[in-house]
A and B are shown apart, each in its own frame.
Chain A
């Protein structure tokens, strides 16, 4: 597994910790369950903590407060939120990432894991993901290319890029 950030392959400082493993020193990513069960101990370590959400957990049951909402109060203590694409055709994490960024103002890393492919890269960037666990590191050019295939988009989203309506408005202002 390779970590892609800012268009570069970077070393992953975060240890992914299984539910039964001891938590090592240094930045550690734990499951939501473990975070909820061992929150105080994890914070006492004085090392950065991240939480990994499975796509089912992150949305929750309809009507129940979503897990994103539940952990929203803790977001300033988390360095990473990991969202999962169980399959690249499962688009729930796009909504979850936007909620983290736009509704709850999360400024840490939002990491995409699972079936993360270059043809979804632009959508992920737009929804606020900024780190990507990629299976095949050999094609970095392809990923860089994918990030710029479309220059301007119609919708405002978490990347805060100017949308086409905003660009039109600005162009009319200049005219």
Chain B
């Protein structure tokens, strides 16, 4: 993984001291809260319902065991002993004290971590495919470019006060796990006719109040042009993005209002001016970064491990976990292991300090000391030998990370909602927990198969409900919590936005409604057909009917 050199180290250390000064000036009253606000946001520090919240960035979701141990230590020392992994591959601490935040950041800096651009109208933490470097279907490892983009975007002098926040995601694989079509900029690695790898550039996707699927503005961008092209896009956005209305300020609105064609013209014209300048990426620099992401010292296996296959055959619980939580690895004899942070009655994405430490130890013992964070709010050990899987599974079970539900109905993505967030209209976490309880039976979950439920506590859509196969959006109806249901969303390479199927349902009725949706699926599915395919084949009607009854189908639209 990437390691800081002297320049990165100095930069982060100086940044910590700079922020210490800003906090000091806030505490002394020299800075007003209004003046301090953008400064703290630029350092990932929010003011929430009950306290400050610090979002520590995890570049492209990649951690060393040492870093994870430090996060555990931070959780103990500055928080209440736990952290919350987010849908953007970051971690949030909900209870730090303002005066302690500079020390917290100094602790993080000792393991090459920071909170820069965790929030604010800046280029946010760059995200990437959680299986980068190990997925079987990869053109190239996107982390190399994610790191290059991370450095370029860090305290960029021109783009730190944009009209609105700005999110960039990368994928190198055919199957998009990074949701590149619903980001401000998505970069998908592709090959040109000559077999040279580069990027498809997608701009203007996003969720929130006005969800949109991004537009491809360039089919192929050479690697050397990556930064100059990004700079051109950002320069157009910084100058022309709307600043008169917060809800119309994202780049998707600019792309939409100008039209993709006109927007592309502007970007290309700007790019022509700067493309052969100082931002050109030399092959030497790409190679230098590539070296950091070299494969770990794998053992060589010819085929699947016999002991593993034997355990699969005799141990049903292990088999269920293996079927649900493992993904195919590019190397024979290895597996990608998902650790579920969605146990029964848990808070999606929460992990205690003890769990983090235990996961770090397991990563050291079985997985070359590396951990990934997924945007589904789970953890991943990307390189585990099949030989070790049974032992690992037992160890994970002890720390509560072995729930066999990855990608299934109880692997719910949820924002913090009304329990933590001052903007919320309704609770999210308790809804996730109630759905989890209703579908706790593992056989039933397994039978339902792949199904993504996403819950947002308000229209800001932090739970990405628009791209859930089933999405729930909390709304406030005269002081009562209601939930609007959307169906058919998806964030992958076939990205689609969910459709609203009918009137919002009450807090009490929402779990029954989900069950009705699933009942319709079970009734109509063809053999081996996952939920999303059945939905795409049949459309909303049978699902509406199941939730709202026959009559409502016609007037609910």
Binding site for B on A (CB under 8 A): 59, 61-63, 66, 88-92, 94-96, 98, 103, 117, 119-120, 122-123, 126-127, 145, 149-157, 163-165, 167-168
11 CB < 8 A contacts A-B: A62-B254, A91-B121, A92-B239, A123-B161, A151-B10, A151-B11, A153-B157, A154-B151, A164-B8, A164-B11, A164-B151
Alpha-carbon gap, A62 to B243, bound state (A): 13
Q: Which residue on chain A has the smallest CB distance to residue B284?
A: A169
Q: Which residues of A contact B277 (CB under 8 A)?
A: 156
Contact of B121 among A89, A92, A150 (CB under 8 A): A89
Contact of B7 among A95, A152, A155 (CB under 8 A): A152
B245 to chain A, nearest CB (A): 14
A138 to chain B, nearest CB (A): 11
Q: B397 near A: Cβ within 8 Å?
A: no
B7 touches A94 (CB 8 A): no
Q: Which residues of A contact B152 (CB under 8 A)?
A: 154-155
Question: With A90-B243, A91-B160, A156-B278 in contact, do A168 and B266 touch (Cβ < 8 Å)?
Answer: no
Give the most central of A92, A126, A168: most B CB within 10 Å: A92
Q: B240 near A: Cβ within 8 Å?
A: yes
Give the most central of B121, B239, B273: most A CB within 10 Å: B239
Question: With A153-B155, A155-B156 in contact, do A91 and B238 touch (Cβ < 8 Å)?
Answer: yes
A152 touches B11 (CB 8 A): yes
Binding site for A on B (CB under 8 A): 5, 7-8, 10-11, 14-15, 17-18, 21-22, 35, 38-39, 121, 151-152, 154-162, 235-236, 238-240, 243, 254, 258, 262, 265-266, 273, 277-279, 285
Alpha-carbon gap, A145 to B22, bound state (A): 12
Q: Which residues of B contact A94 (CB under 8 A)?
A: 157-161, 238
Alpha-carbon gap, A88 to B238, bound state (A): 14
Question: With A88-B161, A167-B7 in contact, do A150 and B155 touch (Cβ < 8 Å)?
Answer: yes
A91 touches B39 (CB 8 A): no
A150 touches B266 (CB 8 A): no
Q: Which residues of A contact B265 (CB under 8 A)?
A: 63
Q: Which residues of B contact A157 (CB under 8 A)?
A: 157-158
Contact of B161 among A62, A89, A150, A167 (CB under 8 A): A89
Q: Which residues of A contact B160 (CB under 8 A)?
A: 91, 94, 123
A63 to chain B, nearest CB (A): 6
A66 touches B239 (CB 8 A): yes
A62 touches B162 (CB 8 A): no
Q: Which residues of B contact A149 (CB under 8 A)?
A: 14, 17-18, 21
Q: A89-B161, A92-B238, A149-B18 are in contact. List 15 more A-B contacts (CB 8 A).
A: A62-B240, A89-B121, A91-B162, A95-B158, A95-B235, A123-B158, A145-B21, A149-B17, A150-B155, A152-B11, A153-B155, A153-B157, A154-B156, A155-B157, A164-B7
